Structure formats: structure tokens, C-alpha cells
Amino acid sequence: MAAGSVREDAGTAARILDVAEELVQVRGFNGFSYADVSAQVGITKAALHYHFAGKADLGLALISRYADRFASELAKLDAGHATPAARLAGYTGLYLHVVRRQRMCLCGMLAAEYQTLPDPMREAVTSFFDANESWLEKVLEEGRQEGTLHFPRTPRDTARVVIACLEGAMLVARPYGDPDRFQTMATSLLAGLTRE
């Protein structure tokens, strides 16, 4: 990364995002400080401000990266799995991966703290949920046409229910620190869609 590099040092910025992401997913956006991040990254608070001017900027970058990564995971699911049911199972697998690392969905956490967030972060959070909804809606629609997925409401309403159940399962599983608690709930949800 030498000549012509317009970007700041991507290595440090990425490490900052990694640390901050975990902090938000575990403690919430109002539950961590620049001091926490700088200590874990191994730089000073001042250096942190060089990469992300304010906490709101850091928060926004966090959501953007998280949403991008999620979108690319969804694209992988579209590419790798033939059937809608398999894509749906893959989708719940993404959540399980988060739960196994003792974390809450970044945007689920931020949804709880929504009223305290600056406007740019708010918009990014709703965009994340909207994107999830659109992807799920498509999968559900296709599964219904194939006759492999069954649900009484519209694909859009059902997509919202799926997101709510998975986010809620993460939320209430947190106090018990038990991934199995989440998995059992996720399995029940899928069972309801595949053979109702």
C-alpha cells in the first residue's frame, strides 16, 4: 500500500472496527467508550479520533461494514444453495454464528438503543432491516411458488416475522448465555415454514 494510496491505513481502521464491533454487540453503543477501544487496539484515544472523528462516525462505519458483510453473506447463500428452504436455513445459520460468539446482532442491539442514536446511525439501522426483509421476502416468495415453503400471510409480513423471531431469540437467549436456547427456537421457526 505505497504510492498513490489515498486511503488512510486500512489495517488500523479495520482493527478499530473489529474491536468496536464486538464492544457494541456485547455492551451496546452506550456501554463502551473510546478508552475501551483504544486500550484493546493498542493506540491512544487521540489516534482513534484520527480514524473516526467522533463516536457517531465510528458507529455509522460500524453499521455500514456490518450491513455490507451481511449482504455479501446473503449473496453467497443465493449462489450456493439451490432451494429456498436451504437458503432460509443458511440465513438462520448466520444468526447462530453471532450467538455462538456470545454476541447480539449489531443492529438488534442498536434497535434497542435506537432513541439515543444520532440520525445517520438510525437510517443505517433501518436500512439493514429493510435489506434483510427484501431478501427474505424473495426467498419466501420463491419457496411458496415451488410449493416447498408454506405460510398464511404475505411474503413481506412473513419476512418481518422471521426477522423478529430470530432477533428476539438472540435477545432472550443472551441472559442465559446458551446457544442451544437460540438454536431450539430457530429450529421451531423453520419447522413452521417447511411443513405447515
Where does this chain bind a copy of itself (CB under 8 A)? 26-28, 30-31, 104, 108-109, 111-116, 122, 125-126, 129, 152-153, 157-158, 160-161, 163-176, 181, 184-185, 188-189, 191-192, 196
Interaction partner, residue 167 (a copy of itself, DNA, none; CB < 5-8 Å by kind): a copy of itself
Kindly tell me which of 8 and 146 has the beta carbon lying closer to DNA.
8
Closest to a copy of itself by CB, 96 vs 114, is: 114
**CB-based contact 67:126 (threshold 8 Å):** no
Q: What angle do CA 50, 53, 59 make, to 5 degrees?
A: 120
CB 128 within 8 A of CB 70: yes
Q: Between residues 25 and 51, which has the closer beta carbon with respect to a copy of itself?
A: 25
Rounded-to-integer distance, Cα 84 and Cα 149, Å: 8
The one among 18, 22, 40, 49 contacting DNA by CB under 7 A: 49
Nearer to DNA, 43 or 85 (CB): 43
On the 0-12 / 13-18 / 19+ scale of CB atoms within 10 A, 27 is middle
Residue 34 contact partner, candidates DNA, a copy of itself, none, CB within 5 to 8 A by sort of partner: DNA
C-alpha torsion 34→167→187→181, nearest 10: 60
- Binding residue for DNA (CB under 7 A) from 22, 28, 56, 114? 56
Report d(CA 104, CA 117) in Å as an integer: 17
Shortest Å distance, C-beta 95 to a copy of itself: 11
Out of 26, 28, 40, 43, the residue judged to bind DNA by CB under 7 A: 43
C-alpha cell at position 181: 436456547
